[in-house]
A and B are shown apart, each in its own frame.
Chain A
Amino acid sequence: MAMLQVSGLTKKYGALDVLKGIDFTLDKGQVLSIIGSSGSGKTTLLRCLNFLEKPNGGKITLNDGILFDATDAKTATSDEIRQKRLHFGLVFQSFNLFPQYTVLENVTLAMDLQEKDRAKQQKRKPSKEAIQNNRKKARQILKDVGLEQKADSYPFQLSGGQQQRVAIARALALEPDILCFDEPTSALDPELTGEVLRVMKELRERHTTMIVVTHEMDFAYNVSDKVIFMANGKIEEEGTPQQVFDTPKSELTKAFVNKSKNL
């Protein structure tokens, strides 16, 4: 049984059909790359998985539990959604770090708030030990992304590549089942994309389940287990990187892949 199962997902903005019924599955530990030209709906799909957009129809199932079902309003209350979001992490194109917090605080903030919530529910004080552990954990993650030296810096003191690695650390801290990336290198200078892609490759080595919306065709080809090519709000073609890039069946995929190769 697949870890993530998406079926019949649709999204409309007014009269505009952005997603016209998306079906796919993803196994634990796999890396899925979603490629396609701008406006094909790939970012919207990612935002639907993270509940930043509410799908109009379809179903999202994770680990045999229904996360979202358009026909069941109970799955769309704000508290439910907040809990379910935690299954997914999201790394944004423009990092969106919190400017007033240090690198370390950016990583610990959500963990600390969760501890405070738990303490409130159990009518106790937030445990100092838990907060200490959060800091320890954050330092370890920052070490993993190569930024332990920058723990006390503020976001504006970092390069774009460093900021994006902090954003990855921040998402990892909550241990999401699936880590999503929305064009993580598109806002970076070319010489800074490497350090971010390297971190993502390391995550793959550790069997992190990932969904990556990307324009980095080399990454999609070399790092992913599965590639989805989207066009006009639909999945035009999906398969292994070799299938999609080397032997595409659809004319649209062929055209897209050829154009990307010529770049």
Chain B
Amino acid sequence: MFDGAFWSINLELLRGFANTCLLFVVTLVASLPLGLVVCFGSMSKLTPLRVLTRLFIWVIRGTPLMLQVMIVFYLPGLAFGMPIENRMGAVMIAFIINYAAYFSEIYRGGIESIPKGQYEAGQVLGMTDSQIFFKIVLLQVVKRILAPLSNEVITLVKDTSLARVIAVGELIRAAQDIVAQQAIIWPLFYTGVFYLVFNGLLTLAFGAMEKKLNYFRG
């Protein structure tokens, strides 16, 4: 099995995997901060903003990501006569919006779990609201949400395979191309190893972060 064909197939798969990684990194880097913005919207004292944000979260969480990818890709062409050329771009937009919605709910849970006394202690010490959030609350929130966050990030790695629905050449798509051309099935099954190793590394990284924040309790 470990002949020349094996290595050339690996090379093919790695090309697909590069796209998988690109989608993963871009989604993560954009949706983590965007999620915080959405979170503040969903906790806003302005009722219209809060209701609108929660409606948005309901729609995004209530429909399949695969469907959202297709809508982002096809709708501009069908509705406004402006077809999207960049397939990867469309996938990224759909993923960023989707993951921002999920992250925002994780953040909200974390922020609302911080005791009121922490805010009041900051207030009586004359701190501003932003000082209280960034200097007191944020790190405690991060510690509390690491576990649910790692869940979501690991799901993202696997969700990247949905990009193939609009023919973006990610890992599964690359394997299917090989299957179709060479009439062998194992490369498709073999992609599981890529995902598994990737998620193994992520699990280690999250474990390290949890350990790093173990120096305090609260």
Chain A residues close to B by CB (< 8 Å): 50-52, 82-83, 85-86, 88-90, 92, 94, 96-100, 109-110, 113-114, 154-156, 170-171, 174
Q: Quick one: closest A residue to B125, CB to CB?
A: A110
Q: Which residues of B contact A51 (CB under 8 A)?
A: 123
- Chain A nearest CB, measured from B138 CB (Å): 10
Quick check: is B120 within 8 A (CB to CB) of the other chain?
yes
Q: Which residues of A contact B120 (CB under 8 A)?
A: 52, 90, 92, 96
Q: Which residues of A contact B128 (CB under 8 A)?
A: 82
A99-B127 contact in complex given A92-B121, A94-B117, A113-B135, C-beta closer than 8 Å: no
Q: Which residues of B contact A170 (CB under 8 A)?
A: 125
B136 near A86 (CB under 8 angstroms)? no
Docked CA distance A114–B91 (Å): 46
- Chain A nearest CB, measured from B76 CB (Å): 43
The segment out of B5-13, B16-24, B210-218 that lies at the interface is: B210-218
- Chain A nearest CB, measured from B127 CB (Å): 6
Q: Which residues of B contact A90 (CB under 8 A)?
A: 120, 124
Residues 117-169 (chain B) with a chain A CB within 8 angstroms: 117-118, 120-121, 123-128, 131, 135-136, 139-140, 143
* A/B pair count, beta carbons within 8 Å: 62
Docked CA distance A89–B124 (Å): 7
B123 near A85 (CB under 8 angstroms)? yes
Q: Which residues of A contact B124 (CB under 8 A)?
A: 50, 52, 85, 88-90, 171
Interface band, chain B: 20 to 34
Q: Which residues of B contact A174 (CB under 8 A)?
A: 125-126
Q: Which residues of B contact A156 (CB under 8 A)?
A: 216-218
- Which of B115, B125, B218: most chain A Cβ within 10 A? B125
Q: Which residues of A contact B117 (CB under 8 A)?
A: 92, 94, 96
Selected contact of B218 from candidates A94, A114, A155, CB within 8 Å: A155
A99-B140 contact in complex given A113-B135, A156-B218, C-beta closer than 8 Å: yes
Docked CA distance A51–B126 (Å): 11
A154-B121 contact in complex given A86-B126, A99-B140, C-beta closer than 8 Å: no
- Chain A nearest CB, measured from B113 CB (Å): 13
18 A-B pairs with CB atoms under 8 Å apart are A50-B124, A52-B124, A82-B127, A82-B128, A83-B126, A92-B120, A96-B115, A96-B117, A96-B120, A98-B118, A98-B136, A99-B218, A110-B127, A113-B135, A154-B217, A156-B218, A174-B125, A174-B126
Q: Which residues of B contact A85 (CB under 8 A)?
A: 123-124, 126
Binary CB contact string for chain B from 103 to 120 against chain A (1 if under 8 A, 0 otherwise):
000000000000101101
8 other contacts beyond A50-B124, A99-B217, A156-B217, with CB at 8 A cut-off?
A85-B123, A92-B120, A96-B117, A98-B121, A109-B125, A114-B126, A154-B216, A155-B216
Binary CB contact string for chain B from 196 to 218 against chain A (1 if under 8 A, 0 otherwise):
00000000000000000001111
A96-B126 contact in complex given A154-B215, A156-B216, A156-B217, C-beta closer than 8 Å: no
Closest 10 CB pairs of A and B: A99-B218, A110-B125, A96-B117, A96-B121, A156-B217, A90-B124, A100-B216, A86-B126, A99-B216, A100-B139
Q: Which residues of A contact B131 (CB under 8 A)?
A: 113
Q: Which residues of B contact A92 (CB under 8 A)?
A: 117, 120-121
Q: Quick one: closest B residue to A111, CB to CB?
A: B125
Docked CA distance A52–B121 (Å): 10
B118 near A113 (CB under 8 angstroms)? no
Docked CA distance A170–B121 (Å): 10
- Chain A nearest CB, measured from B86 CB (Å): 42
A82 near B216 (CB under 8 angstroms)? no
Docked CA distance A70–B208 (Å): 53
Docked CA distance A155–B128 (Å): 23
Q: Quick one: closest B residue to A156, CB to CB?
A: B217
Q: Which residues of B contact A82 (CB under 8 A)?
A: 123, 126-128
- Which of A51, A109, A171: most chain B Cβ within 10 A? A109
